[in-house]
Amino acid sequence: SEKILEVKNLKKYFPIKAGVLQRTKGHIKAVDGIDFFIRKGETFGLVGESGCGKSTAGRTITRLYEPTEGEIFFEGENITSKKERHLFNLRRNMQMVFQDPYSSLNPRKTVGTTLIEPLKVHRMYKTHKECREYAQSILERVGLNPSFINRYPHEFSGGQRQRIGIARSLVLNPKLIVGDEPVSALDVSIQSQVLNLLNDLQDEFDLTYLFIAHDLSVVKHFSDRIGVMYLGNMSEVANKKDLYDEPLHPYTQALLSAVPRSHPREVKKERILLKGDIPSPANPPTGCVFHTRCPFVMDHCKEVTPEMKEVRPNHFVACHLH
Ligand code: SF4
Ligand code: MG
């Protein structure tokens, strides 16, 4: 199927300010040149440990952050340097669901106001009554009582608030939803309910998902394709099955070795423990950014950055072993 999103050599650096004059002392290289695409209708899982740049990547793609370098294409159109006033339609088509359902909703606005404001800004309906009815139908669709429209966020549980966050992302009928760890702040018992809801909504509303997670076990059931990030770089991108059955990048192999088996007949993997800590994104290692921790490091890994290559059909990896 066609690509809805494509990212080429995307970078997002944040300046480090220091001293009384707040001079820039270097940069945090949160995203340091990633390439991948998402096909229409699929769920792309973006995985990595905290600080790997996956959330920054999500926010840069949706243009909540200004990209530092590289290109972003949405439905074939280059949106990298579009100015804010030209992002109006894009904002409608790309929505985000955030991790923390407690801080992502405005505590002073009723659920109704939160849902109806975007409908008015984008002139989706002629009258307030129509907006209100539509907002109520969306509330119902995410499993909430339409009467909740008059209530405030503090009146709800975490799971209910995340359903409101999902309703807010849905009202403008977007094409792509970026979920930034949308279930990781919820109780385990609630997580699968919210994942099932997202899965049902995907078919019903014809959605494409970029699903960001730190946990490979969450994306395992939910994703069609998966990208693994490490220290601002993309290590590997593959179909879910290929990635789980035959991970090619040593970092993916280490991450997967930590995921508990989901079936007793599944082959037990030897746990790969990585040495050392994740280096600082302000001063990433030369060559392959993973070389300080890689069990297979070779001399030239320390000097030459491995390019992302399609080593098997639809299986991309950035590693000198391949
Ligand atoms: Fe390890 Fe070298 Fe591959 Fe990097 S390029 S993952 S250091 S083998
Ligand atoms: Mg699905």
Domains in the chain, CATH or no CATH each: 3-108+152-317 (3.40.50.300)
Q: Which residues of 33-68 are buried (b: 16+ CB within 10 A; e: fewer)?
A: bbbbbbeebbbbbbbbeebbbbbbbbbbbbbebebb
Looking at the predicted structure, is the pLDDT value of residue 274 above 90? Answer: no
% of the chain residues with pLDDT over 90: 76
What's the 202 CA to ligand 2 centre distance in angstroms?
A: 6
% of the chain residues with pLDDT over 70: 97
* Burial group, residue 129, by CB count within 10 angstroms (0-12, 13-18, 19+): exposed
- Asked if residue 288 has its Cβ within 6 Å of ligand 1, the reply is yes
- Asked if residue 321 has its Cβ within 6 Å of ligand 1, the reply is yes
What's the 142 CA to ligand 2 centre distance in angstroms?
A: 16
What does pLDDT average to over the chain? 92
Tokens 């991790």 map to which residue?
99
**Average pLDDT score over residue span 173-182:** 95
What's residue 98's pLDDT? 92
What's residue 25's pLDDT? 79
**Average pLDDT score over residue span 109-122:** 94
What's residue 263's pLDDT? 64
Q: Say if the ipTM goes beyond 0.90.
A: yes
For ligand 1, atom 3, which residue shows the shortest CA distance?
319
> Strand (E) positions, 63-158?
69-74, 77-78, 94-97
Nearest bound ligand to CA 45?
Answer: 2
Looking at the predicted structure, is the pLDDT value of residue 113 above 80? Answer: yes
Nearest bound ligand to CA 305?
Answer: 1
Q: 109 - beta bridge partners?
A: none
**Average pLDDT score over residue span 218-239:** 94
What's residue 91's pLDDT? 87
Atom of ligand 1 nearest to the CA of 294: 1
**Average pLDDT score over residue span 286-304:** 96
Cα 209 from Cα 189, distance rounded (Å): 22
Which pLDDT band, with edges at 50, 70 and 90, does 97 fall under? very high
What's the 58 CA to ligand 1 centre distance in angstroms?
A: 26
Nearest bound ligand to CA 253?
Answer: 1
Cα 50 from Cα 278, distance rounded (Å): 10
Q: What is the DSSP letter of 269?
A: P
Q: What global pTM score does this model have?
A: 0.93
